[in-house]
Amino acid sequence: MDFTIISVGNELLSGDTANSNSVYMARKLVKMGHRVRRIIVIPDNVDDIAEEVKKASENSDFVLVTGGLGATHDDVTAEGVAKAFNLKLEINKSAEELLRKITNNEEAIKKVASLPEGSEVIPNDKGAAPAFIIRNVAVMPGVPAEMEDTFEKIIKKFSSEIYHEERLKVKGYEEKILNELNEVVREFKDVQIGSYPKPGYVEVKFSGRDKERVRKAKERFEELLKM
């Protein structure tokens, strides 16, 4: 399946907070054999959220959104998602019940439990705001522990697909292996090959659905490098 990840938060755009949520989800999805088409970071703005969610929903099998589900003025993700699908916000009874177990603040309950009509609620066992799913979009809290808790529940809805991966470390710089790398890319168009420079070496990753082809691509690269 193809996924798009959307991270919402002014703090991400200002550099005050690292976008660790996207890294966590992308790694999990790829290991399950899925593909992440895009990772998008947007501000706490209803129109921006609506535009990007609508676009991602149309161009991906499933969309994962994090951030902006709290009770403060800048938590507007639920409103943005509702606008993306021309839905109304309504007090979700399941979300309200979960929230009443941990707070009696009526203003907070009303704000956090107001979700797009028809949403499926996903309990958040690490915090207050529950996650929710509407159509092909899942929305999760931005706090990493809470995101991870709800994400792990959501991905159980998706079966793993076949995925194989091999990695190779080569000393030096990319320029040293460029010709050999391009040759393998031409020969193995069905294998995804990535080159990642590190301090003092380059890590090359071979991945795909066919285990034998992935293995052969790596071996061919080693052969060309005379390793």
Question: What residues does 8 pair with on adjacent strands?
Answer: 42
Rg of the chain in Å (alpha carbons):
21
User: What pLDDT, on a 0 to 100 scale, did the predictor assign at position 174?
Assistant: 87
**pLDDT per residue over 12-21, tens digit each?**
999 999 999 9
Per-residue pLDDT at 223: 93
Please say whether the beta carbons of 10 and 49 come within 8 A. Answer: no
Task: Identify the pLDDT of residue 72.
Answer: 93
The H or E element that residue 80 is part of is helix 77-84
Q: What domains, with CATH codes, occur in the chain?
A: 2-157 (3.40.980.10), 164-225 (3.30.70.2860)
The H or E element containing residue 36 is strand 35-42
Work out the number of other CB atoms within 10 angstroms of the CB of residue 15: 8
CA pair distance 9, 15, nearest whole angstrom: 10
What is the reported pLDDT for 80?
Answer: 98
pLDDT of residue 139: 98
CB 104: neighbour CB atoms within 10 A?
8
Phi and psi dihedrals of 73, rounded to 5?
A: -60, -30
What pLDDT does residue 114 have? Answer: 97
Give me the phi and psi of 171, to 5 degrees please.
Answer: -65, 145
What pLDDT score was predicted for residue 161?
78
What local confidence, expressed as pLDDT, does residue 76 receive? 97
The beta-strand segments (E) located in 67-200 are: 89-91, 114-116, 120-122, 131-134, 137-140, 164-171, 192-198
The token pair at 107 is: 């203003």
pLDDT at 128: 94
Q: Considering only CA atoms, which of 89, 81, 28 is closest in space to residue 55? A: 81
pTM of the model: 0.83
Ranges in the chain, pLDDT < 50: none
pLDDT at 205: 94
CA 112/CA 72 separation, integer angstroms? 9
pLDDT at 221 (0 to 100): 95
pLDDT at position 163: 85
- Segments of 89-147 assigned E as strands: 89-91, 114-116, 120-122, 131-134, 137-140
- Do residues 220 and 184 touch, judged by C-beta distance below 8 A? yes
What pLDDT sits at residue 175?
Answer: 87
pLDDT of residue 176: 87
The predicted structure's pLDDT at residue 78:
98
